[in-house]
Amino acid sequence: MSGNKSHSSTPNNVLKIGTFTCTWCGLTVSTVAGDGVRRNHCPSCLHSQHVVDHVVGGASDCHGRMSPIAIAMHRTGEWMVIHRCVRCDELTSNHVCADDNQFILMRTAVRPLAQPPFPLESFGDL
């Protein structure tokens, strides 16, 4: 047996970049963000698709649209987009990517302040 390794038609050091089409806005999105991180949501509108079932583990048969509902900070200090599936209501969190739409991120982050779940007038009674 020779010491040469067999080479496949695609070298191991070639970056494979896939794409997906956003289920909300129709944008064709690279699966790798501008900073080299793998992305699973649209950088323009932040929507995603339910392809991984975090509750059961593994692939999801749901394939519903995942809507961005909040922005949160992970215990590591990384910012996360919180998604809710419009079909089955599963919640997921995904890292914010460097090229995500900053206006949509900010709008999502302040939504609880702009539309609180209780009347703001109740603070006057405290």
Average pLDDT for runs of 10 along the chain of length 126: 46 64 91 86 94 70 91 94 93 93 95 82 72
Q: Which residues of 23-37 are buried (b: 16+ CB within 10 A; e: fewer)?
A: bbeeeebeebbeeee
Residue 1 lies in a domain: no
Residue 9 lies in a domain: no
112 contacts 70 by C-beta, under 8 angstroms: yes
pTM summary value: 0.73
Residue 65 lies in a domain: yes
Virtual CA dihedral for 103, 107, 109, 111, nearest 10 degrees?
Answer: 180
Residue 38 lies in a domain: yes
pLDDT of residue 10: 47
Other C-beta atoms closer than 10 Å to the C-beta of 124 total 7
Domain encompassing residue 105 = 19-115
Residue 70 lies in a domain: yes
